[in-house]
Structure formats: structure tokens, C-alpha cells
Amino acid sequence: MSTTTRTTGGAIGASLDRIDGPRKVTGTAPYAYEHRVDNPLYLFPLRSEIVRGQVTGIDASAAEALPGVVVVVTHENAPQLADTGDRELAILQSGEVAFRNQYVGAVLAETFEAARHAAGLVEVSYAEEPHEAELREDGDLYTPEQLNAGFPTDTEEGDVEEAFSSAAVTLDGRYTTPMEHNNPMEPHTTVAVWKAGDLTLYESTQGAHPVQRTVAKIFGIDRNRARVVAPYVGGGFGSKGLPHANTILAALAAQMVEGRPVKFAVTRQQMFTGVGYRTPTIQKIRLGADSEGRLTAVTHDVIEQTSKIKEFAEQTAAVTRSMYATDNRRTTHRLAALDVPVPSWMRAPGEAPGMFALESAMDEMAEKCGLDPIEFRIRNEPEIDAETGLPYSSRNLVACLREGAERFGWRDRTPAPRSHQEGRWLVGNGVASATYPVFRLPGSRATIRYEGDDKYAVEFGAADVGTGAWTALTQISADAIGVGVDNIELRIGDTAFPFASVAGGSSGITAWGSAIFEAARVFRERHGDNPSEGDEVQARTPNNPETENYAMHAFGAFFVEARVDVDTCEVRVPRMTGVFAAGKIINAKTARSQFMGGMTMGLSMALHEESLVDGRFGHVINQDFAEYHIPTNADIGEMDISWIDEDDPYVNPMGSKGIGEIGIVGSAAAVANAVYNATGIRVRDLPITPDKLIQ
């Protein structure tokens, strides 16, 4: 019998230290590559040296003769996959090459060094065909049936052309964002082992169960014969949200050496092919406003790329459908299908590039209307969500803008561009809004079991990708069950536990936390306040009927001070303010890190990140951290991060909205707007490098 006194909550919202922190700093938290396995083999991939065509011959004799080499896997000897419908994942099933650096084989050897050495000795010959690997506005474009996350491809309300012709003020802007690569610190890593038809994967993933379901289908085995283990993950930023070909390659190769674990860690350079990336975008935005600065027409037309072998259609203009009020609006998406790797999720797919364009355009339009950019946004604040026609469960964008203006000292800004210089530095301030939808993925189930001694086990397969889920979920469990955090034994990151949805779309806490609350409710219903050891329930994330009644989004506002060297045009960002309205914050400490990480990544998008493709050879040429820049500590100044107390009773039992992505949405525009205020130069093509600011 339990003698625990049920507490009245209070764990949610506390600044609890990461419970996995000691394990991480002492090196006892195993990442995928570090799980102890017996007698492993090491995999080094063979990658295509052409962009498009056929493998015509493979000479692996020199590689196979090398001591330690066990097998060279190619399409000539690889096992058949049961399901080849997903052409990104159906590797080594034919000699077809669909993009540069695509996997055409692998070497398995007793050591990593032998595998890598041997891979260099394999001679592959090809029949090359013409290719197209660069996004061009005037290339062949098509209309996808729908966008990522199920958003409609195009929307139209009212009569935009009529509204433009009668608008007092109009703006016509073209904005571009480059190809970007997610680049989590831990590369994509798999340890795969087959035993008697059962597959075990130690995997660096954002979702153990989604990987399990994918590999079960592809290898034609029953779901419960595939186990995926991922207790600790070194970041993903979306690139580990969906399984990629590296996972299939490891599992496929492991089939050929039944019983022996195969270890495959993608190298940093290899991460620039095949594990997802953000599509480059070409975005045209037109805004029309009346003489009072109210938007009368908005259009947002997007061109972006996908791969010929699998469609990924980023929902870049989706954010424009609801951000501001207008009666006349059109959004469109067109795709170029190219001989390139498949684009995928990268932190806030759609919102991040789309809000760069929209919030840059809003800044330009505010100036044209003679309004302060904050006032301009407030004037165009909608009453309801235009996309669904529903009221918002809570929408505190205006509060974020006002609070941020106060904290940042917006009133001291000189509105005229290039009007403030300190020494050799041109100084400017910029603002931009942020938003991100509350996604609620179905199907997660949580088990709660009373294990005696005041301990409650809470189990489900969710992955903590470094965000702090271990800690936040412990806090949620404590309040849901009504005990202290020390009474919770959380077990996650393994398909041995009940199904959990992917850690993507900032949806984890909503989905998993709702399941925990439901399980706790059922547990008390069945077992009361004094359960017996072994009492257990399992419950599913319930449907939320309020999603029929309310549109649910998080909001935020960013303020940036930019300094631009008047002669060399180097840009520095000494301070950034972010204010968020994201419902209840589960853990103040890890949340702050999440927001800061998002803002840092937004600054990185604004000033640094750009994957440069050489169209002739079809690959990213700056494929390492020396040339693909992300900010260093010296590039990040003061980060002022706060949130408003938002009580949203509709979103989920915690009142939380998801915080993983909103920090990057709009923050790049805030930097660009600050650079404009500093210099009078509007850079519409990211990243903002010094050469774009030379007049």
C-alpha cells in the first residue's frame, strides 16, 4: 500500500535541473553508437559519384582482399526489401542513381578504419545521364496535391487583384532563402543487429516507434519483431524525425551478417546528403493596404524544390494564411522536381522560411505606410483564425510585441534607416513576429504502474532529442499523478514501451503529456489514492474536442539590435530579445534553452547558413563546419528571453503549446529588419553576408 500523500502539483513550471544532466556530463548516457554490443562490424558507405544514371559495374576485389573486410554490399548482392514504395529508402535494389552521393553500397569490416579504407578501393563504373540539380525560377514547376503536414497547396479568399488595384499602398517583394542543413551535433547513427528474424536498432532518432513501423514495413517483418532503442539523442532539428536511407543501409547490411551488430555513424561530410535538408525557397509577396495601414490584400507565392524520387512540399506560405487580417488573400506553392536528395523537416519547416519573407515584407510595408512596425502589426491583428474560421484558444501576439518593446527599449529606436552611427558602427533595431501551430499527434499511449515504495513508473517510447523531455515529462508525471518528482521513475526512448509519436512539430509535450494525464486519471479511478504494488494502467492521448472550437497557436515577438561596420559591412548582433506566449511553460530552465536555441538558429539563418550546390556535380560544396557556418559563441551577444503568463484551458491538460520551433520562426526577419534600419539596405536574399551590404 502506498503511503504517499498526494500533492497538489507545482512540479510543472519549476526550474528543475535536467534529470539526465549528471548522466550526460559523466558520460554514462549512451548515445546510439555507444550502446555496448558484442563483436560488432563497422559500416562505411559507398556513395554515387554521378548525379543521375546507372551503376554499370562494381569491382570490389581489392576491397574484399583487404584484411578485416567481411563483405562489400551492393545492389548485386543485397537482400531484397519487402516494400520498395518509398524510393528514398529503397536502397541497393537496383543500379539506378537518383542524386549525387546516393548510397550505392557499403563495406562491412572488423574495424571502422578497414571499412573506410576498403570503401576507397571499390571501383564503381556508371552510365551517366543528364541531370538538373539546381532550383531555377524558370525551370519546370508543378503543383503538389498537398503540402507537408497536410496543408492545402493553394488558398484564395476574396479578390486580390481587385483589392490591389484599389489599394492606397502596395508592396511587391521577392525573397529567397537558401538550402540549409540541420546538422545536429550527433550525426545520424545506427547500430543494427538481426537475430533469428528479429531486428534491433540502436538509433539516433526523434521517434523510436515511427522508425520501428517504417523498418518493419520495409523489411516485411511483424512490428513487434523490430525493436528500436533511443534513450538519448544528440539533437535532430527535424533531420531525425523521419527515418532516412542511412538507417535502412545499416539494417540491410546487417541482414547479410546475421547475428553480428553493424555500426554506422554518418560522418559530418556525409550529413550534407541524404538525411534531409531545408529546400531553398523563392518567395514573392505582395501586400496592399488602405490609407490607415490596414491590409486589404496579401499574396504569397512560393517556388521550392523536391526530389524526383519522393515528394516533400514545404508549407512555406501556410503561415501567411492566418498571421494577419485581410479580406483578400492568395497563397500558392510550386515545386521543381530535381535530381537531388529528398528535402525534409528542418526546425519549423514552412514557418521558418515563410516568416522570413512575410515579416520582412511587413517591415517594408510599415515604412511605406508611415507606421511603426509594431503599430502596423497591431493594426492588422485578426479577430479570428482566417484559415479555419475559428476563434483562437489564446492569441497574445500583441502582448508579446508590447512586452518586448518595453524590455528592449524600442522607444529609443531611430525609425529613419541609417540614422544612428556610433563610431564605425551603423546601429539599427528590428522587430518581427513569431507563430507556430499547436500540433497534436494521435496515438501515443502511456503506462503508469505503481512499483511500491512510493514509486510510480511512467513508460512510453518517446525520444528526448536533447530538448529536456526527460525532465519535463517527469514534472508532468508528478503533477498528473499527484506526487513529487522524486516519486516518478520515467522510462522512455524504447519501443519496448508503449507507442509514442515523433518528437517533431513541437508536439511532444502535447501528445505525450496528454497521455500521461489521461493515464493518471484512469489510474486513480481504478486504483484510488493507495494503490497496491503492480497496479497498472495504460491510456492513450485522448482526442481534444476543443480543436473543433478553437484554433491553437503559440506566438512570440523578436527584437534585435544589429551593428554594421560602415566600411566593411560586417554584421554583429549584440542583443536579441524574445518574448513568447506559448501557454504554460513546463520547465523554465529547459524552456529558456529551447527558446535561446531557436533564436540562435534564426540568427544563424539570417547571417550564416547556406548550403552551396555546384550544379555541375550536384553536391553541396561547403560540406563541413569550416565552410558551412553556424554562429560561434563570439557571434551571440545578450539574449533576453521571457514569456508571458498565458492560461490556455483548451490546448491540453498542461496548458502548454509546444516551444521547440517557435524561436526560429521570424527571428531571421528581425535580424534582417534591424540590418535595414542600421544601413538602409534591404537584403531579401539570405544569408546577409557583408558583400550584400556594399553600396
Catalytic residues: 661
- SS3 at position 332: strand
- Does 622 help bind other proteins (rule: CB under 8 A)? yes
CA nearest to 687, candidates 584, 581, 612: 612
Given the rule CB under 8 A, which of 300-308, 311-319, 535-543, 616-624 is the region that contacts other proteins?
Answer: 616-624
* CB nearer other proteins, residue 593 or residue 689: 689
Cell 502506498 belongs to 2
The correct pick among 227, 491, 572, 682 for binding other proteins (CB under 8 A) is: 572
The correct pick among 137, 496, 621, 638 for binding other proteins (CB under 8 A) is: 621
Residue type present at position 293: G
* CB nearer other proteins, residue 59 or residue 627: 627
What is the number of other CB atoms lying within 10 angstroms of the CB of residue 128? 13
* Alpha helix (H) residue ranges in 452-498: 469-481
State the DSSP string of 488-526: EEEE-SBTTSPP---S-TT-HHHHHHHHHHHHHHHHHHH
* CB nearer other proteins, residue 185 or residue 694: 694
CA nearest to 641, candidates 378, 345, 404: 404
* CB nearer other proteins, residue 14 or residue 636: 636
Which grid coordinates are listed for 414? 531611430
What is the smallest separation between the CB atom of 267 and other proteins, expressed in angstroms? 9
What is the smallest separation between the CB atom of 314 and other proteins, expressed in angstroms? 24
Say how far apart CA 395 and CA 383 lie, in whole Å. Answer: 10
State the DSSP string of 265-322: E--TGGGGSSS--BPPEEEEEEEEE-TTS-EEEEEEEEEEEEETTB-----TTGGGGT
Give the strand pairing for 445-450 and 536-540. antiparallel
The correct pick among 57, 62, 568, 638 for binding other proteins (CB under 8 A) is: 568
Given the rule CB under 8 A, which of 44-52, 97-105, 496-504, 686-694 is the region that contacts other proteins?
Answer: 686-694
- Does 185 help bind other proteins (rule: CB under 8 A)? no
* CB nearer other proteins, residue 84 or residue 568: 568
Q: Residue 106 is inside which H or E element, if any?
A: strand 103-109
What is the smallest separation between the CB atom of 262 and other proteins, expressed in angstroms? 23
- SS3 at position 487: helix
- SS3 at position 456: strand
- SS3 at position 664: helix
Given the rule CB under 8 A, which of 82-90, 441-449, 514-522, 618-626 is the region that contacts other proteins?
Answer: 618-626
Given the rule CB under 8 A, which of 244-252, 470-478, 584-592, 630-638 is the region that contacts other proteins?
Answer: 630-638
CA nearest to 399, candidates 430, 417, 377, 421: 377
| Residues 6 or more apart whose Cβ sits within 8 Å of residue 219 | 81, 82, 199, 226, 251, 255
Say how far apart CA 553 and CA 321 lie, in whole Å. Answer: 13
- Does 635 help bind other proteins (rule: CB under 8 A)? yes
* CB nearer other proteins, residue 172 or residue 627: 627
- SS3 at position 366: helix
- Does 608 help bind other proteins (rule: CB under 8 A)? yes
What is the smallest separation between the CB atom of 572 and other proteins, expressed in angstroms? 7
Contact of 598 with 680, CB cutoff 8 Å: no
What is the smallest separation between the CB atom of 569 and other proteins, expressed in angstroms? 8
Q: Residue 351 is inside which H or E element, if any?
A: helix 351-368
What is the smallest separation between the CB atom of 333 and other proteins, expressed in angstroms? 29
What is the number of other CB atoms lying within 10 angstroms of the CB of residue 626? 7
* CB nearer other proteins, residue 416 or residue 612: 612
What is the smallest separation between the CB atom of 473 and other proteins, expressed in angstroms? 35
* CB nearer other proteins, residue 42 or residue 436: 42
Say how far apart CA 595 and CA 578 lie, in whole Å. Answer: 8
Residues 62-121 that bind other proteins (CB under 8 A): 120
Give the x/- contact pattern for other proteins in 548-567, rule: CB under 8 A: -------------------x
Residues 260-279 that bind other proteins (CB under 8 A): 269
- Does 626 help bind other proteins (rule: CB under 8 A)? yes
Contact of 377 with 293, CB cutoff 8 Å: no
Q: How many chain residues touch other proteins (CB under 8 A)? A: 25
Residues 335-374 that bind other proteins (CB under 8 A): none
- Does 689 help bind other proteins (rule: CB under 8 A)? yes
The DSSP letter of residue 380 is T
- Does 158 help bind other proteins (rule: CB under 8 A)? no
The correct pick among 629, 640, 642, 680 for binding other proteins (CB under 8 A) is: 629
The correct pick among 165, 612, 616, 638 for binding other proteins (CB under 8 A) is: 612
Residues 473-532 that bind other proteins (CB under 8 A): none
What is the smallest separation between the CB atom of 5 and other proteins, expressed in angstroms? 52
* CB nearer other proteins, residue 26 or residue 695: 695
Given the rule CB under 8 A, which of 34-42, 52-60, 186-194, 627-635 is the region that contacts other proteins?
Answer: 627-635
* CB nearer other proteins, residue 483 or residue 571: 571
| Residues 6 or more apart whose Cβ sits within 8 Å of residue 204 | 31, 32, 33, 186, 187, 188, 189, 190, 230, 233, 234, 236, 240
The correct pick among 570, 574, 588, 649 for binding other proteins (CB under 8 A) is: 570
Chain residues binding other proteins by CB under 8 A are 120, 269, 567-570, 572, 607-608, 612, 621-622, 624, 626-627, 629, 631-635, 689-691, 694
